[in-house]
Amino acid sequence: MDEEIIRYDNVSIVFDETTIIEHFSLPVNKGEKVILRGPSGSGKSTLLKMAQGYARPDTGTVSYRKHAIDAETAWKIRQETAYISQDTDIGEGIVRDLIAGVFTYASNKSLPYETSLNKYLALFSLDEATLDKDFRTLSGGEKQRIVIIISLLLERTIFFLDEITAALDGRMKQQVADYFLSHKDWTVIAISHDEAWYREGSRIIPVGGN
Ligand SMILES: Nc1ncnc2c1ncn2[C@@H]1O[C@H](COP(=O)(O)OP(=O)(O)OP(=O)(O)O)[C@@H](O)[C@H]1O
């Protein structure tokens, strides 16, 4: 039987008296690859934020594994899912130290991330020398790939991806999209305008007026 991960049920949200999202409904089952497509300002990022409890609908409900999202479930969701955005402002310092810092948190401590790190660097065409650079000196595309790698090292299987390939070149857009789309068990809700995400097996969901 299909295992429901996220469900938007008749969700509406109003900001500053403007209705941004109106009567949006979408069930997302385990393993589905959902691509949200819509004009700028149509509320795509807000929908992803709702799925992690960072935004609340004015009417309707958003559920995670059949439980309406509230403060308690939001905490659990953030432990179990990964949100990656195109905002790569994750801090300063040497890349290797930044990555190590993520794994000093109690909840991530048991993950043997070092064994996977080199595999991901190679997969996304980053030199090992990148680890010894100051994060601030990396290009936008390099920063984006490091942020993606950190999320992958956390070994989550539910991903909310907000335009994560926007700063990458054509070949790398494809490489990253392929990686997320190819894992059968992973549940992915991605916002992207890049063609790399639009392919057989992806479920394209229009948001707003398109
Ligand atoms: N917390 C907030 N308070 C007020 N307005 C907000 C808030 N969050 C989002 N908005 C507004 O809601 C609208 C939708 O924003 P959102 O970022 O969800 O759109 P989007 O479809 O992801 O846009 P883009 O494709 O440009 O990233 C925008 O006009 C934004 O300014």
Q: Answer whether 112 contacts ligand 1 (Cβ < 6 A).
A: no
Segment 141-163 mean pLDDT: 95
Percent of the chain at pLDDT > 70 equals 96
Ligand 1 atom closest to residue 208's alpha carbon, by position in its atom list: 21
- What is the chain's mean pLDDT, rounded? 92
Pocket test for ligand 1, best of 45, 48, 161 (most atoms within 8 A of CB): 45
Task: Tell me how many domains the chain contains.
Answer: 1
- Reported ipTM: the value is 0.93
Tokens of 10: 């008749």
8 Å CB contact between 191 and 161: yes
| Residue 209 pLDDT | 66
Per-residue pLDDT at 91 = 83
Which residue's C-alpha comes closest to atom 4 of ligand 1? 15
- DSSP, collapsed to helix, strand or coil, labels residue 162 as strand
Q: Round to whole Å and give the CA distance between 132 and 9.
A: 46
**Backbone angles phi and psi of 69, in degrees to 5:** -75, 120
Is the shortest distance between the CB of 43 and ligand 1 below 6 Å?
Answer: yes
Å from CA of 30 to ligand 1 middle:
27
Tell me which residue has its CA closest to atom 13 in ligand 1: 41
pLDDT at 72: 86
Which domain covers residue 17, as residue numbers? 4-206
Structure confidence at residue 1 as a pLDDT band (50, 70, 90): low
How buried is residue 111: exposed, middle or buried, by Cβ count under 10 Å (0-12/13-18/19+)? middle
* Closest to 36 measured CA to CA, from 195, 180, 187, 191: 191
Q: Is the CB of 20 under 6 A from ligand 1?
A: yes
CA proximity to 100, closest of 117, 122, 80, 82: 117
Q: Are 38 and 209 in contact (CB under 8 A)?
A: yes
Summarised one tens digit per residue, pLDDT across range 32-70 is: 999 999 999 999 999 999 999 999 999 999 999 999 999
Q: What is the pLDDT of residues 61-110, one digit of tens each?
A: 999 999 999 988 999 999 999 999 888 888 889 999 999 888 887 666 67
Residue nearest to atom 30 of ligand 1 (CA): 41
Q: Is the pLDDT of residue 210 over 60?
A: no
Asked if 39 and 16 touch (Cβ cutoff 8 Å), the reply is no
Return d(Cα 138, Cα 65) in angstroms, integer: 38
Report the CATH number at residue 189: 3.40.50.300
| Residue range 132-161: mean pLDDT, rounded | 94
Position 114 pLDDT exceeds 90: no
